[in-house]
């Protein structure tokens, strides 16, 4: 595959037009600007203007900040990457920032996670961060207990949870202490602040165990394709890649098993390398209408696992961090982007404008508005 680095002499816009699905690295940071240290196990979310990165883990003492990092080997920090200015900023926040910093789960401004088994604490509460006002707050809720109990009051399955906001409700699935697993499904009404543990009319015995993700469409919640034996299969390094995915139907309160269609050029049988042997750099897409798998014509310049990824409302995916070397247990702080759709005319013009006038961010709001920029575009710069 061709080298898609901007060092070839053409900007990001040219890559978007000539190479759909291209994976582009971010530019080197300007002098005096810091970037997040290399990490894995963190989470990120994105809006139209910024990528937010929270938490993470790096056992390398020097890379994780040395004596200046009181939470070593974890990162108790929140970073913001501004798309328009191509710069990182470590955010100073008010309120109590969670200490559950590893394999937390996040959506919009919600964070939930653990420090076990790499740290010392396992989170059992919901925490939200208002990124506009830079304030953390614990969520006060009523109803059935929060999704924290599994086998006993002392076993909180908060590692590898997955969650999504659907129709004004926060759905939280699964989790593990690192040793035992849960397939519980909880719902939080964000208006009434009431927790409910959902009791599906049926339960599949072949549910995902860990590192699952959630996607939603219409009245269904889809769980990431993941074989339940993958965690145990790490000992033998190979696990079967099932074409079955699980979906929770909100209307019928039942779990459904859906057979997906394999990529035409690959066939129906897959072998997935699970940790410790091979790190894959391929990118896949599952159509939730046809359930067809498609292998995208892109390869990660730096294959990783335990990374984080987020998609902007405009359809651009950002991938940050992760483990890049199995034997050396090495992590990266690299950031890559890839358009998953053809960018809108607005996005194409915006990127061209930023490329041609990189000083825009130094202008005041009134100057930007006087130039004809909309309020929405001004907000992306500030």
In the chain, what are the domains? 6-344 (2.120.10.80), 345-382 (no CATH)
Q: State the Cα–Cα distance between residues 87 and 51, nearest whole angstrom.
A: 10
pLDDT at 297: 87
Nearest partner of 44 among 128, 98, 109, judged by Cα = 109
Contact 94, 130 (CB under 8 A): no
Q: Which residue has the higher pLDDT, 352 or 20?
A: 352
pLDDT at 140: 72
Give yes or no for residue 202 having a pLDDT over 80: yes
pLDDT at 331: 96
pLDDT at 10: 31
Q: What is the pLDDT of residues 302-336, one digit of tens each?
A: 999 889 999 999 999 999 999 999 889 999 999 99
Give yes or no for residue 235 having a pLDDT over 50: no
Q: What is the pLDDT of residues 169-191, one digit of tens each?
A: 888 887 666 566 677 888 888 88
Q: Average of pLDDT values for 217-238?
A: 56
Contact 6, 16 (CB under 8 A): no
Give just the sign of the alpha carbon dihedral 362, 364, 369, 375. Answer: positive
pLDDT at 119: 43
pLDDT at 22: 63
Alpha helices, DSSP H only, in 112-197? none
Q: State the Cα–Cα distance between residues 260 and 249, nearest whole angstrom.
A: 17
Q: What is the pLDDT of residues 15-70, one digit of tens each?
A: 333 344 566 666 666 656 789 999 998 989 999 999 999 989 999 999 998 899 98
Give yes or no for residue 223 having a pLDDT over 50: yes
Mean pLDDT of the chain: 75
Q: Which residue has the higher pLDDT, 231 or 121?
A: 121
| Residue 284 Cα distances to 3, 74, 271, 323, angstroms | 20, 30, 15, 19
Q: 240 pairs with which residues across the strands?
A: 271
pLDDT at 360: 93
Q: What is the pLDDT of residues 83-118, one digit of tens each?
A: 999 999 999 988 888 776 554 555 554 554 444 444
Q: What is the pTM of this model?
A: 0.79
Q: Average of pLDDT values for 291-308?
A: 90
Which of the listed ranges 183-187, 272-276, 343-347 does the model predict with the highest average pLDDT? 343-347
The proportion of the chain whose per-residue pLDDT surpasses 90, expressed as a percent, equals: 33
């Amino acid at each position: 595959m061709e080298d898609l680095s901007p060092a070839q002499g053409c900007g990001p816009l040219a890559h978007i037009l000539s190479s759909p699905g291209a994976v582009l690295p971010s530019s080197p940071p300007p002098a005096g600007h810091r970037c997040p240290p290399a990490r894995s196990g963190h989470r990120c979310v994105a809006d139209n203007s910024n990528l937010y990165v929270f938490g993470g883990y790096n056992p390398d003492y020097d890379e994780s900040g040395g004596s200046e990092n009181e939470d070593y080997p974890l990162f108790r920090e929140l970073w913001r990457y501004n798309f328009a200015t191509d710069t990182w900023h470590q955010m100073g926040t008010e309120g109590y920032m969670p200490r559950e910093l590893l394999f937390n789960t996040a959506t919009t401004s919600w964070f939930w996670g653990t420090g076990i088994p790499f740290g010392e604490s396992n989170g059992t509460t919901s925490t939200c961060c208002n990124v506009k006002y830079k304030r953390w707050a614990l969520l006060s809720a009523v109803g059935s207990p929060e999704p924290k109990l599994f086998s006993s009051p002392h076993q909180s399955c908060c590692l590898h949870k997955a969650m999504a906001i659907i129709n004004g409700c926060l759905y939280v699935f699964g989790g593990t202490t690192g040793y035992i697993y849960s397939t519980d499904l909880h719902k939080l009404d964000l208006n009434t602040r009431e927790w409910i543990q959902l009791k599906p009319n049926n339960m599949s015995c072949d549910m995902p165990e860990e590192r699952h993700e959630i996607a939603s469409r219409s009245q269904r919640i889809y769980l990431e394709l993941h074989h339940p034996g993958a965690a145990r299969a790490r000992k033998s390094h190979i696990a079967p890649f099932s074409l079955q995915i699980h979906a929770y139907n909100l209307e019928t309160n039942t779990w459904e098993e859906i057979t997906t269609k394999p990529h035409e050029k690959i066939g129906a049988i897959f072998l997935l390398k699970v940790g410790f042997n091979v790190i894959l750099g391929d990118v896949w897409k599952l159509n939730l209408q046809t359930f067809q798998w498609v292998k995208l014509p892109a390869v990660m310049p730096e294959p990783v696992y335990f990374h984080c990824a987020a998609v902007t409302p405009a359809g651009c995916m950002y991938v940050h961090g992760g483990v890049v070397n199995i034997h050396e247990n090495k992590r990266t702080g690299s950031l890559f982007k890839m358009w998953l759709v053809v960018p809108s005319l607005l996005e194409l013009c915006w990127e061209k404008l930023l490329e041609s006038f990189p000083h825009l961010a130094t202008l005041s709001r009134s100057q930007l508005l006087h130039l004809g920029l909309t309020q929405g575009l001004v907000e992306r710069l500030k």
